[in-house]
Chain A
Amino acid sequence: TQLLEQSPQFLSIQEGENLTVYCNSSSVFSSLQWYRQEPGEGPVLLVTVVTGGEVKKLKRLTFQFGDARKDSSLHITAAQPGDTGLYLCAGSDTGRRALTFGSGTRLQVQP
């Protein structure tokens, strides 16, 4: 069974601070996705990374896929209250199985 561990589980910060969320596994993934879920809604895709070492930027969010494709990180610069939510990483392997989701990082940004 492939497992994705996310850290930290919870994060409460002030507006304007920077933060990094980690997604780690002992397994290799062919691609990795990051989703954000807001209360009362389903997860929404933020980004997909597919190449080891790849870095993608989405405004103030920077996503990195580890060189060995076993881990990923999400860095948020100057966090805003609108960034509040549950951040989920999800990995897919080279087979045709379902996405494996991490346990999630719950972020709260205080104004």
Chain B
Amino acid sequence: KAGVTQTPRYLIKTRGQQVTLSCSPISGHRSVSWYQQTPGQGLQFLFEYFSETQRNKGNFPGRFSGRQFSNSRSEMNVSTLELGDSALYLCASRRTSGANTGELFFGEGSRLTVL
């Protein structure tokens, strides 16, 4: 079965712009989580959506937002981009929500560069 698909894979934006990233989870997976990965901070949790509801949220400013659609596809948006937002944004899906509910399946990520 198809894996987690993230689009776009690469993008370049300038400071002040906004960006929307998309994630299609594995069929049957209802939970989608987003992570930011940078060399200095590692993998940082952004938020998790399950059945169109945000279940968990990490310690990121309000410029970072997300949503999930009825088909479980998810988008995340970053507004007023800053240089420090340059990172690999990873989406991960799993069947159910919660910390003890199995394996996360990651996509290949969307690499964002902010100039």
| Total contacting residues, chain A, CB less than 8 A | 26
Contact A93 B106 (CB under 8 A): no
Residues from chain B with Cβ under 8 Å of A111 in the complex: none
In contact, A101 and B90 (Cβ under 8 angstroms): no
Asked if A48 and B103 sit within 8 Å, CB to CB, the answer is yes
| Contact of B108 with A by CB under 8 A | yes
Q: How many residue-residue contacts, CB under 8 A, span A and B?
A: 63
Residue of B nearest to A4 (CB): B42
B66 on the interface (CB 8 Å rule)?
no
Contact call B109/A42, Cβ cutoff below 8 A: yes
Distance in Å: Cβ of B51 to nearest Cβ of chain A:
14
Contact B100 A92 (CB under 8 A): yes
Kindly supply a per-residue 1/0 record for chain B positions 27-64, scoring 1 wherever the CB is within 8 Å of any chain A CB and 0 otherwise. Answer: 00000010100000011110010000001101000000
In the complex, are the beta carbons of B42 and A103 less than 8 A apart? yes
Judge if B104 is at the interface, Cβ distance under 8 Å: yes
Task: Decide yes or no whether A45 CB sits under 8 A from chain B.
Answer: yes
Q: Mark B75-115, 1 if CB is under 8 A from A, else 0.
A: 00000000000000010100001111011111111000000
Q: Contacts A30-B100, A98-B56 hold; do A42 and B42 have CB atoms under 8 A apart?
A: no
Q: How far is it, in angstroms, between the C-alpha of A33 and the C-alpha of B100 when the chains are bound? A: 10
Where the two chains meet, the residues of B that have a C-beta atom closer than 8 Å to any C-beta of A are 4, 33, 35, 42-45, 48, 55-56, 58, 90, 92, 97-100, 102-109
With A95-B99, A102-B42 given, can you name 13 additional A-B contacts, CB distance below 8 Å?
Answer: A35-B104, A41-B109, A42-B108, A43-B106, A93-B99, A94-B100, A96-B97, A98-B56, A98-B58, A101-B43, A101-B44, A101-B45, A104-B42
